[in-house]
Chain A
Amino acid sequence: MDNIAGHKSSLTWAVNISVVVIVALWLFPTVGLFVSSFRTADQIATTGWWKAPFAAEQNLVLRTKAPEDQVQEGDLYVISGNLFDEEGRDRLGISAWGTSSRDVAAYEPGDTVEDDEMRITLAKNGDYRVESGVAMEGRRGERLFVTALVPPEFTLDNYRQVLTSGNATDSMAKAFFNTLTVTIPATIIPIVVAAFAAYALAWMDFPGRALLIAFVVGLLVVPLQLALIPLLKLHLQIGIGKGYLGTWLAHTAFGLPLAIYLLRNYMAGLPRDIIENARVDGATDFQIFTKIILPLSYPALASFAIFQFLWTWNDLLVAKVFLIDATGQTTVMTNQIVELLGTRGGNWEILATAAFVSIAVPLVVFFAMQRYLVRGLLAGSVK
Chain B
Amino acid sequence: MHPALQGLLTIVIGVGACLAYFWASNQILDKVLFPAKGPNAGRNINRASMIRPWLFLFPALFALTLYLAYPVLETLRLSLTDRRMGGAWAGFDNYSQMFSEAKFWEAMRNNMLWLVVVPALSTAFGLIVAQLTDRLRWGNVAKSLIFMPMAISFVGASVIWKLVYDARPPGTEQIGVLNAIYVFFTGGEPQQWLTIPLWNNFFLMVVLIWIQTGFAMVILSAALRGIPEETVEAAIVDGAGPFQIFFKIKVPQIYPTIMVVWTTITLVVLKIFDIVFAMTNGQWGTQVLANYMFDKLFRANDWGVGSASAIIIMVLVTPILVWNVVQARREMR
Q: Which residues of A contact B (CB under 8 A)?
A: 1-2, 4-5, 9, 11, 15-16, 18-19, 22-23, 26-30, 32-33, 36, 44-50, 173-174, 177-178, 180-181, 184-185, 188-189, 192-194, 196-197, 199-201, 204-206, 210, 212-231, 234, 244-245, 248-250, 252-254, 256-257, 260, 284-286, 289, 310, 313-317, 320-321, 334, 337-338, 341, 348, 351-352, 355, 358-359, 362-363, 365-367, 370, 374, 377-378, 381-383
Q: Are A352 and B164 in contact (CB under 8 A)?
A: no
What residues of chain A lie closer than 8 Å to B311, measured between beta carbons? 226
What residues of chain B lie closer than 8 Å to A337, measured between beta carbons? 155-156, 159, 278
Q: Determine the distance from Cα of A352 to Cα of B52 in the docked complex, in whole angstroms.
A: 52
The interface stretch among B12-20, B88-96, B109-117, B185-193 is B12-20
Q: Are A27 and B163 in contact (CB under 8 A)?
A: no
Select which of A45, A334, A358 is within 8 A of B175 by beta carbon: A45
Q: Are B63 and A256 in contact (CB under 8 A)?
A: yes
Select which of A48, A226, A256 is within 8 A of B173 by beta carbon: A48
Main secondary structure of the interface of B (DSSP, over half): helix
Q: Which residues of B contact A (CB under 8 A)?
A: 3-4, 6-7, 10-11, 14-15, 18-19, 22, 26, 30, 36, 48-50, 52-54, 56-57, 59-61, 63-64, 66-72, 74-75, 78, 129, 132-133, 135-136, 139, 142, 144-156, 158-164, 166, 173-177, 180, 210, 213, 215, 218-219, 222-223, 226, 229, 232-233, 236-237, 242, 257, 260-261, 264, 267, 270-271, 273-274, 277-278, 290, 293-294, 297-298, 303, 306-307, 310-311, 313-314, 317, 320-321, 324-325, 328-329, 331-332
CB distance from A236 to the nearest CB of B (A): 13
Beyond known contacts A44-B175, A229-B74, A378-B218: 18 more, CB 8 A cutoff: A4-B233, A19-B142, A22-B132, A28-B177, A33-B159, A184-B11, A192-B19, A204-B56, A217-B328, A221-B320, A229-B75, A234-B66, A248-B14, A250-B67, A253-B63, A253-B66, A316-B155, A381-B260
Select which of B175, B261, B290 is within 8 A of A225 by beta carbon: B290
13 CB-based A-B contacts, threshold 8 Å = A32-B163, A33-B160, A46-B175, A177-B3, A192-B18, A204-B56, A205-B53, A222-B321, A249-B63, A348-B166, A355-B156, A359-B156, A366-B150
What residues of chain A lie closer than 8 Å to B213, measured between beta carbons? 26
Q: Are B219 and A49 in contact (CB under 8 A)?
A: no
Select which of B129, B152, B303 is within 8 A of A19 by beta carbon: B129
